[in-house]
Amino acid sequence: MSPLDQLIEALRVLPGVGPKSAQRMAYHLLQRDRQGAARLGASIVTAMEKLKHCQRCNSFTEADVCERCLNAQRDPALLCVVEMPADLAMMEQTHTYKGLYYVLMGRISPLDGVGPRELQLEKLIDRASDGVVNEVILATNFTNEGEATAHYVGAVLQARGIKVSRIARGVPVGGELEHTDIGTIAQALVERRSL
Amino acid sequence: MSPLDQLIEALRVLPGVGPKSAQRMAYHLLQRDRQGAARLGASIVTAMEKLKHCQRCNSFTEADVCERCLNAQRDPALLCVVEMPADLAMMEQTHTYKGLYYVLMGRISPLDGVGPRELQLEKLIDRASDGVVNEVILATNFTNEGEATAHYVGAVLQARGIKVSRIARGVPVGGELEHTDIGTIAQALVERRSL
């Protein structure tokens, strides 16, 4: 395979990119933005080499434990569980929450072959059982998958005697955190209810 | 900037990729397909290093002159002008054309800041004036930009005494070669008319 065909083929690993878009992207990079392309190639290589999962919050970080988890200003008794780092970023933007996080890096979704096992919930259970965490706040999406995840995770943690709450259903039903306005997320955080 | 932010930023050089899609792509690569991502990074780096423009047809190749231009089986008296390598690939699939090609790598499009100068038409003029080329077939798209390009390029070549033709308007008006069925393209090639 020529480097061009290899590039077109390789671009298809990106979500939502089919053969035609991969071709268009390859020509665009080669013809219009070689500098940007070189930067992209290097960034991907660097990111894959350097980024790993934080031992405490499971998000992406270069260190063993990320800066947020090491921040002494935050309340270690509160642990907020979100699906993805993008959700964490939205929570942070509300400036309403000063506890710590755990990022599931996904959601229970049987159709995509993601069950409780794939989410490696033992890591979350260990994290929540450190003796310092006093309450786990479930902030997964209000989609079907997010709700199922919240139910399952909530039940597992409660079975271990951990106090669990769910952010309020102020977030529109069927909506995703990433696409919700910050005010609504703040409201849902304040109105969280005990399970 | 962290490697993650750098990756998200770098992904935005891809056409049609905004901040949200870049984020989604980055998480997808990191979480679901590290192997594919490593391959993508390497492919981009390799492609940018190795691929240059063929001295004769202007398409992408590793050698100074590409294999197609060196193929003695093809008729060097015919030169077909297309906008992009994807168009060339469609022409080839018709199995109707045995001449050579010249790839403009774009089209005249004032709105995008691409005028005749940006297309480096001198290279095409030199190529078409080699004394062997007997006819230049214009196979740019039948969009407004493609038609304008055909008119301009045709006039420039005719002014130098070169015989020029345009593939027939069998290709639907407003359509693009890349998305046209092969039979229609073959028809348009057979019915090309002298300018």
pLDDT tens digits along A102-121: 999 999 998 888 888 888 89
- B88 to chain A: which residues are within 8 Å by CB? none
- B60 to chain A: which residues are within 8 Å by CB? 4, 30
* Per-residue pLDDT at A67 exceeds 90: yes
3-state secondary structure of A164: strand
3-state secondary structure of B66: coil
pLDDT of A75: 95
Interface test with B, best of A43, A45, A49, A68 (most B CBs within 10 A): A43
Indicate yes or no: CB of A47 within 8 angstroms of CB of B84: no
Across the range B98-122, mean pLDDT stands at: 90
Picking from A41, A42, A69, A44, the residue whose alpha carbon sits closest to that of residue A54 is A69
Q: What is the pTM of this model?
A: 0.71
Most confident range (mean pLDDT) of A97-101, B112-116, B140-144 is A97-101
**Structure confidence by residue, pLDDT tens digits, B29-78:** 998 899 999 999 999 999 999 999 999 999 999 999 999 999 999 999 99
ipTM above 0.90 for this complex:
no
DSSP codes joined into one string, B50-63: H-EE-TTT-SEESS
- A29 to chain B: which residues are within 8 Å by CB? 13-14, 44, 47-48
- State how far residue B172 is from chain A, nearest Cα, in angstroms: 20
Indicate yes or no: CB of A50 within 8 angstroms of CB of B3: yes
What is the helix, strand, coil percentage profile of chain A, to 5?
45, 15, 40
pLDDT of A116: 86
The pLDDT confidence band at residue B195, using thresholds 50, 70 and 90, is low
Interface test with B, best of A8, A14, A34 (most B CBs within 10 A): A14
The partner residue sitting opposite A40, judged by closest CB among B10, B31, B106, is B10
pLDDT of A147: 87
pLDDT of B142: 84
- State how far residue B195 is from chain A, nearest Cα, in angstroms: 30
Indicate yes or no: CB of A43 within 8 angstroms of CB of B9: yes
Indicate yes or no: CB of A10 within 8 angstroms of CB of B40: yes
* Per-residue pLDDT at A193 exceeds 70: no
Both tokens of A40, joined, read 């992209």
Burial of B2 (0-12, 13-18, 19+ CB in 10 A): middle
- Within 10 A of B30 (CB to CB), how many other CB atoms are there? 22
What residues contact A10, with CB distance under 8 A and at least 6 apart? B36, B39, B40, B42, B43, B44
Size of interface A-B (CB pairs under 8 A): 146
The pLDDT confidence band at residue A168, using thresholds 50, 70 and 90, is confident
pLDDT of B170: 66
The partner residue sitting opposite A24, judged by closest CB among B15, B31, B37, is B15
* Per-residue pLDDT at B117 exceeds 80: yes
Q: What are the distances in angstroms from CA A9 to CA A13, A34, A88, B88, B112?
A: 8, 18, 32, 19, 28
